[in-house]
Chain A
Amino acid sequence: MSSMITRLDRRRSELPGAGMAVRARGLVKCFGSLRAVDGVDFDIPVGRCFGFLGPNGAGKTTTLKMLMGLADFDDGALSVLDFSLPDQSREIRRLVGLVPQADNLDPDFTVRENLFMYARFFGLARAQVAARVDELLAFADLTHKADARVDQLSGGMQRRLTIARALVNDPDIVVLDEPTTGLDPQMRHVIWGRLSELRARGVTLVLTTHYMEEAERLCDELVVMDHGRILDQGSPAELVRRHVEPDVIELRGPVSDGVFATLSSMCLRAERHGTAVYVYTSAPAPILEFLEEAEELTVIHRRAGLEDVFLHLTGRELRE
Chain B
Amino acid sequence: MKIVVTIKQILDPAGFTVNRRRERVFVNREEYIINPADLNALEMAACAKDGRQGVEVIALGLGPARVDDALREAIARGADRAIHLSDPALADLKTDAAGAARLIAAAVQKIGGVRLVLCGAVALDSGAGELPGRLAEALGWPMLAQVHSIDQIGEGQVRVSRRTERVESDLPALLTVPHDANQPRHMLGVRVVQAYRQKSVAAWGLSDLGFTPNDLEPLTSVAGRRFPPERTPGTRLEGSIEEAVQSLVAQLRAKELI
> Are A and B interaction partners?
no
A residues contacting B by CB (< 8 A) are: none
B residues contacting A by CB (< 8 A) are: none
